[in-house]
Every structure is written in C-alpha cells, then in structure tokens.
Structure 1
C-alpha cells in the first residue's frame, strides 16, 4: 500500500512498474509490423535480472504478460502510447520547441532512440536510483543520448521546479512536457498541483502530453480482491500502488487554463492506427479507461 514519503528503486514498488512496462514494450516490439519499436526496452529488462530475462525468452508462460487476454492487451497499450508520444515529440520539435521535460522518466529511452534537432535540451526527472540504473545500463550497452540529456534526481512529491531550474531549465522558453504513466500514481489533489506547476512554468508555444486513466470500476477492484491466482495477485499488487480516486479531466483542465487541448481514447487511437482492440475480453485490462491528451499553449 502506498504511503506518504514511500521510496523505491527500479525493482520495488512504483519503480518495478517501469520494468513491467519495459518488458511489455520489448515483447510487443518483436511482432511483425509492430506499431512502435523500442530496441532499448530489452536491454533494460535483461539487465534487471534472470527472472525478467526468462520472461523475454518465453520461459514464464504463467506470467501476466504471457497471457493471451491481459498480456496481449497490455502490450498493445504500451506500443500505442509509445507511438503517440513519439509522434508528439516529433510534432513539438517541428514546431520549434527545443526544451523537453519528461516527468517520472522511468525507463523512457527517447533521449537515446529518437532523433532530436540541434540545440534541444531534454530534462529527465525521477528518483536517483532509477536514473542511475538507466544511465549505467545503457552506457554498459554502448548507447549514448542523441540530445543534451540532463538528469534531475528528485521525487515529484517534492519542490521539483527548484532542481529543474538549477539544471538549466528556462521557463521563458517553450517546453514540451510529458507525463506518461504517471497520473495514476498521484492522488487527485497532487495531479492538480502538478498541472498548476506545469502551467506556471510554460511559456507561450509550450506543449504538454499526458496519459490519463479513469478510475477502475468498483466491481473490478472487488474481483481482484476475491481471487487468488497469480495473475489476480499481480494485479492486486499493482492496484495497491495506484490512486483510484475520481480526478480532474486533463483535457478540460488545460482547456480551462487557456491551452488548446485534444483528447483521444486509447481504443479509438488503436482503431485510427488500424489495430485490433482487445479490451472486450474479460481479462484484457483497463485500456477502455485510458486517454491520450495533447495540449498546446497559444
């Protein structure tokens, strides 16, 4: 269960979810015609230990990511949001943005795998243990960032704009912000404070992209508590890490604060990309609750 001031590294608590997501990207990216490919995801997963490597090698058929319902749906979810946010950064930099901030960066490797215009500065904010794992793992693999990447080791529950500024962030310059896979790990009031901070630090011409998930239905939560197989235990453990409370709609919040905001449901985005939507399966996961949002400050 989450507590105020709790801590983690890449293999515990909230940090472990980044590894789970990286494993999903690695597995899904192997499929022919994959919607997106993150070749560095497998590097992270294999560096995390033998059990994770065994998952990639097909030796854990009972793992949730190996299941035809939830596993396939979750992998599809990860590729969809990867492509959406990759395209977001291409659009923002094409519009002239040269300052990027990735909040709760986890195992996001866009600094290493995307092409960036000259002069771009990319700030990654996360706990120091997570940033260290990423940097050391990719360095050992021979990978270097394609951009001026600056680590900002900080807990987002702290006053993170102070260290961000100390690392060279310029609030007078347009910024492309990213909050991918973050909001559900924040209480509703903390989400609003995050948005307020982004708004206060964003010059005209700034962009922000967010993944939002609506609260899980009460019956879904109850079902997780009632079952005891491995998959349900894994999902119950994940549920203990999130805040399943009602919260402000992201697109509406930014629109109300003068931004131009667009929102698309994850399933609708998959249909736009010509991909099957598997969320109708009973154990497919919460993709129908997930939305992808982009907002621009004119």
Structure 2
C-alpha cells in the first residue's frame, strides 16, 4: 500500500526523485545562517514523500555536516543555483517588465509562492501530471497562496507542450522569461533541440531564457566523483543512469544564431560573486556544468 501511494505522488523514482533531492537541498539552504535563498515550502515536500521523509532538511541533521559531499557541497550548489535563478527571474519581471514566466520541468519549484512578483504576472509550470499533483497536494495542505497567477500545465516535455502552453493563456506576442533548471541533461538531444526551437518561436522581442547544461563529452569519467558516489550511497539516486548519454547540442550557439544574446558561465563564478558555494576540486562532477543566460532583442 505504501508503495502504491508513493507511485501516485509522481516523485517516486528516477528523475522525479531528483526533485525531492533538490527540495532537500533548498530546505538545508533555507535554514543556514548565511542562506542565499529562502524556500519555506521545500522541507514540506521532502517530509511528505515516503522516499525522502527520513532525509535531512537542516545541515545539523547530517552527522558530518558540510563535509558530506551530498548534503554539504552538492546542496550548496543547489542553494546557489536557486539564488542566481531567482535573481534572473525577478530582474526580468521587475526591471524588464516581463509578465509571463514559464518554468520548464517545474518539479517542486515554489517560485510562484515565495517570490515577490509584480502585479499582473503569470507563472506557467510545465511538468508531468504526477509531479504537479504531488506539489498541489502539499501546498494545499499548507494553505499556501500564490503571489502570481499560477498556471500548472500537466504534460511531459517530450510531448508537444507548446500547444498546451498557448491553450493555457500564454501569449506569444508578449515578452516572456523562461527557465529550464536542472532539466536539459535528462532529455534526449532531440527534445532539447525542440525545446530551444520552441522557446525561440514563442518568444517575443524582449524575452529572456536561463538554463543549465553539462559539457562533459564522457560523463562516466566522473563515475567515482564524491558527488555521484554520495548521492548513490545516501539516497539511492544514480544520476549518471538518469542523464541522457548522447552528445549534447550547442544550444547557446543555436540561440546566438537565431539572434539571441547568450552568455555561458560556470557556477564557480557565482560562488565567488556571492562569497559562498562550491569551488572547483579534483574529480569534480560539477566541472562541466554551465549556466546559460540569453536575451532576445526587442523587436
């Protein structure tokens, strides 16, 4: 019975389980004295799912604390990523005047509830039905109130999600800001190419996009990286079996070819900027991670 209930949550395993891992990392970051990002809902997601109910949500619950590769360094990475992408979205909404936010592979992202959006903002959340249903159940139990017009769109990103988005009220004629956080390396190459092409097609001038990619040619070179081994050991997630193993497209180059202005950054640049977060180390599973930010010039 417990297994059946767990399957119904939509976060029971595979990529869905990684959403809980990121939620646990955000919970740990939230409770740090030097927190970069605040997500008061994250720990509730972790505690609500049977698979993760025993995971730590505070660094004090980890016996080796920040020395733990998963709940220390890797969680710091997710905390930093959350802060950087929060800033990106809010900058587009407040300074750029964008009122349409699209979260691709939204997972357990609670930005519609925790960020201070300007009036008139709509946040479209695209993910599998089970994931969104689990999130809605947890947030409903907390009587959480969204700070923008939230529009969940239950569809797999490997399907034709563009029509589902426009049918839900998204206006391709108005500027938008898009986010694909921790998503593309799980998708087949064809799905990534379709995603980038679709974002370009649906984006009016003045739109923006942020996403994360991995540049390693052979991910298995990092099979014994502490981040991967600790994730397998502590929570049973083998990330390397979940990542798509095919060669990745040059999506930043494709966007530049379509007229976007794209910049590619290492996470370590933002560690130095914010004064906390991961720095390079030997046999580093984060060595190939890049955060890409792109802007489409106004028409």
**TM-score in terms of structure 2 length:** 0.86
Paired residues for 1:200-219 under 5 Å: 200-215=201-216, 216-219=218-221
CA deviations on 1:116-146 (whole Å, 9 max, x unpaired) are: 1111111100111111111121111121111
Distance 1:70 1:229, change over 3 A: closer
Task: Provide the rounded CA distance (Å) in 1 between the counterparts of 2:41 and 2:230.
Answer: 31
Asked if residue 35 in structure 1 is aligned to residue 41 in structure 2, the reply is no
Distance apart, 1:293 and its partner CA: 1.3
Which residue pairs with 1:85 in the alignment? 85
Distance apart, 1:248 and its partner CA: 2.2
**Unmatched segments (≥5 aa) in structure 2:** 1-7
Helix, strand or coil for the counterpart of 1:75? helix
Asked whether the 8 Å contact 1:171–1:201 carries over to 2, the reply is yes
CA deviations on 1:83-141 (whole Å, 9 max, x unpaired) are: 11101111111211111110110000000000111111111001111111111211111
Which residue pairs with 1:105 in the alignment? 106
Distance apart, 1:59 and its partner CA: 6.1
CA deviations on 1:276-296 (whole Å, 9 max, x unpaired) are: 5344155xx522221111111
Asked if residue 48 in structure 1 is aligned to residue 49 in structure 2, the reply is yes
Asked whether the 8 Å contact 1:212–1:250 carries over to 2, the reply is no
Task: Provide the rounded CA distance (Å) in 2 between the counterparts of 1:44 and 1:200.
Answer: 34
Paired residues for 1:205-284 under 5 Å: 205-215=206-216, 216-221=218-223, 223=224, 231=232, 237-275=238-276, 277-280=278-281, 282=283
Task: Provide the rounded CA distance (Å) in 1 between the counterparts of 2:91 and 2:285.
Answer: 28
Asked whether the 8 Å contact 2:175–2:207 carries over to 1, the reply is yes
Task: Provide the rounded CA distance (Å) in 2 between the counterparts of 1:252 and 1:47.
Answer: 41
Distance 1:230 1:217, change over 3 A: closer
Paired residues for 1:94-243 under 5 Å: 94-215=95-216, 216-221=218-223, 223=224, 231=232, 237-243=238-244
Asked whether the 8 Å contact 2:181–2:211 carries over to 1, the reply is yes
Distance 1:143 1:256, change over 3 A: same
CA deviations on 1:45-88 (whole Å, 9 max, x unpaired) are: 111138524533766759xx976234311111101110111011
Distance apart, 1:211 and its partner CA: 1.2
Distance 1:123 1:132, change over 3 A: same
**TM-score in terms of structure 1 length:** 0.87
Distance apart, 1:202 and its partner CA: 0.7
CA deviations on 1:231-270 (whole Å, 9 max, x unpaired) are: 4596772211111332123332211210011221011211
Distance 1:269 1:228, change over 3 A: closer
CA deviations on 1:7-64 (whole Å, 9 max, x unpaired) are: 99112221111001101111122221112221111111111138524533766759xx
Which residue pairs with 1:75 in the alignment? 75
Which residue pairs with 1:292 in the alignment? 291
Task: Provide the rounded CA distance (Å) in 2 between the counterparts of 1:31 and 1:201.
Answer: 39
Distance apart, 1:228 and its partner CA: 8.8
Which residue pairs with 1:4 in the alignment? none
**Unmatched segments (≥5 aa) in structure 1:** 1-6
* Aligned residues: CA RMSD: 2.6
